[in-house]
Homo-oligomer: A and B are copies of this chain.
Amino acid sequence: MEKFAVLGCGVVGSGVVELFEKNKALIEKRCGKSLEMGYILDLRDFPDRPYGNKVVKSIDTILADKDVTVVAECMGGVEPAFTFVKACLEAGKSVSTSNKELVAKKGDILLQTAKDHNVNFFFEASVGGAIPIIRPMHKCLAANTFSAVAGILNGTTNFILNKMICDSMDFETALKLAQELGYAEKDPTADVEGHDACRKICILSSLAFGKHVYPESVFTKGIREVELKDTKYCEQLGYAIKLIAQVKALDNGKILPTVMPMAVKNTNLLSQVNDVFNAVMTDTDGADRSMFYGRGAGKFPTASAVLGDMIEQVQLDGTISAQTWESADNADFIEDFAAFSACRYFRTTSADVALLTEVFGDVAERTISDDEETVCIVNVEMNAAQVDAAVKALSQKGVQVLAQYPILV
């Protein structure tokens, strides 16, 4: 009889327990052996819940029980999660976590600790909630060299942008609705400013390229400045503004991870990912383009991913897979944002297409003009310096650039 423990009985932790109990017979059949929920670590008591008698207050109880072979960490935050997870791994227990902050900041250390102790550190739930993405990238696409990964990795911001595009809400109204529906926190900073998506692209970048990418190395810009007007113009031109977390492999051997709102062309399936759904697109030399889509958050979707990891652990019976990445000096590995280059969407104060063409080249066919403003798509890749130069050149002609988005094809 193997047992598992759950650290933290919040939304995800209780979801793990409830989904396990619901599908226990099926899960045990798939595991090929019987499995019991042994402990829940939480400072609170849950006297009214059926699993109330399993609650413990100290990690030591769990560490001391040799029958506990796998632990679900659903506490969130770096501490005490890091200390607890490390202790579990060192005690020979595999860990499955839904904690993206922990993986993004300490993944390299925890993967090495797991390796050193012949156990596994799993984190399928840390990116894209229910979406199978870690295992597909690590296992199914293991024969491939990755050239790019791009995703919609934050459901809250996707919901807000979707409301702007489809229901013509402005940013503040859409954010308020997201908060009312429980999609956004009271303090929405981590979502709205892109920090959450940043942690997730760090994890996917580390996995794709084998070296740890730390959050502070990633250029990150949120959606607070996205104007309703631009979502509408983009839609007319065949684009959708999405918060895109992506990483590209460059010819110089470095990688360039970014998080920022981009105008996604409607031939790219990412442009069709709506509401709170997430999606990840991978470009590789063998498999070419693949996409993974699903619920990026929520009690049972996230619990589904945590339990999937735990089931694999029980099936594996202690054998470790070679899932690991190296600690890295990001200065040598990550290209500066100045090198980021893309086609661009511009909105300016001028309706003079000839003047815009002078600065940007041929844009005439892609403009929409109203009385005061022009919107155009520049189909030549521009980096930040080139954008700055164009803004300056326009300014000298009395034209202001009001908005600018890089394009994802």
Q: B285 touching A289 by the CB < 8 A rule? A: no
The answer to whether A284 has its CB under 8 Å from any CB of chain B is yes
Cα distance, A284 to B131, chains bound together (Å): 12
Q: Nearest Cβ in chain B — how far from A126, in angstroms?
A: 13
User: Interface digits, A101-140 against B, CB 8 Å rule (1 contact, 0 not)?
Assistant: 0000000000000000000000010000011100110011
Q: Nearest Cβ in chain B — how far from A345, in angstroms?
A: 22
Q: B23 touching A311 by the CB < 8 A rule? A: no
Cα distance, A142 to B295, chains bound together (Å): 16
- Nearest B residue to A145, CB-CB: B23
| Residues of B contacting A304 in the complex (Cβ-Cβ under 8 angstroms) | 141, 143-144, 284, 286-287
From known contacts A136-B135, A210-B29, A304-B286, infer whether A143 and B292 are also in contact, taking CB-CB under 8 Å. no
From known contacts A286-B300, A294-B291, A321-B315, infer whether A135 and B139 are also in contact, taking CB-CB under 8 Å. yes
Cα distance, A275 to B27, chains bound together (Å): 37
Q: What total of chain A residues lie within 8 Å of the partner, measured CB to CB?
A: 56
| Residues of B contacting A22 in the complex (Cβ-Cβ under 8 angstroms) | 145, 285
From known contacts A142-B30, A316-B319, A319-B319, infer whether A294 and B285 are also in contact, taking CB-CB under 8 Å. no
Q: List 12 A-B contacts (CB under 8 A).
A: A19-B286, A26-B145, A30-B142, A132-B139, A132-B290, A135-B136, A269-B269, A269-B272, A286-B307, A287-B300, A290-B292, A317-B319
User: Interface digits, A30-70 against B, CB 8 Å rule (1 contact, 0 not)?
Assistant: 11100000000000000000000000000000000000000
Q: Nearest Cβ in chain B — how far from A74, in angstroms?
A: 14
Q: Nearest Cβ in chain B — how far from A297, in angstroms?
A: 11
| Residues of B contacting A292 in the complex (Cβ-Cβ under 8 angstroms) | 132, 136, 290-293
Given contacts A272-B272, A288-B301, list 5 more A-B pairs with CB under 8 A.
A22-B285, A30-B322, A287-B304, A291-B294, A319-B319
Q: Nearest Cβ in chain B — how far from A304, in angstroms?
A: 3
Q: How many copies does the complex hold?
A: 2
- Nearest B residue to A136, CB-CB: B132
| Residues of B contacting A143 in the complex (Cβ-Cβ under 8 angstroms) | 19-20, 23, 27, 303-304, 307-308, 310-311
Give the 4 A-B CB pairs with smallest separation, nearest first: A132-B140, A143-B307, A286-B304, A130-B287
From known contacts A132-B132, A142-B307, A308-B140, infer whether A294 and B287 are also in contact, taking CB-CB under 8 Å. yes
From known contacts A32-B322, A135-B140, A311-B139, infer whether A269 and B293 are also in contact, taking CB-CB under 8 Å. yes
Q: B315 touching A130 by the CB < 8 A rule? A: no
Q: B321 touching A300 by the CB < 8 A rule? A: no
| Residues of B contacting A144 in the complex (Cβ-Cβ under 8 angstroms) | 19, 23, 304
Cα distance, A301 to B131, chains bound together (Å): 21
The answer to whether A312 has its CB under 8 Å from any CB of chain B is yes
| Residues of B contacting A269 in the complex (Cβ-Cβ under 8 angstroms) | 269, 272-273, 293
| Residues of B contacting A241 in the complex (Cβ-Cβ under 8 angstroms) | none
| Residues of B contacting A285 in the complex (Cβ-Cβ under 8 angstroms) | 19, 22-23, 300
Q: B308 touching A141 by the CB < 8 A rule? A: yes
The answer to whether A305 has its CB under 8 Å from any CB of chain B is yes
Cα distance, A307 to B287, chains bound together (Å): 11
| Residues of B contacting A321 in the complex (Cβ-Cβ under 8 angstroms) | 312, 315-316
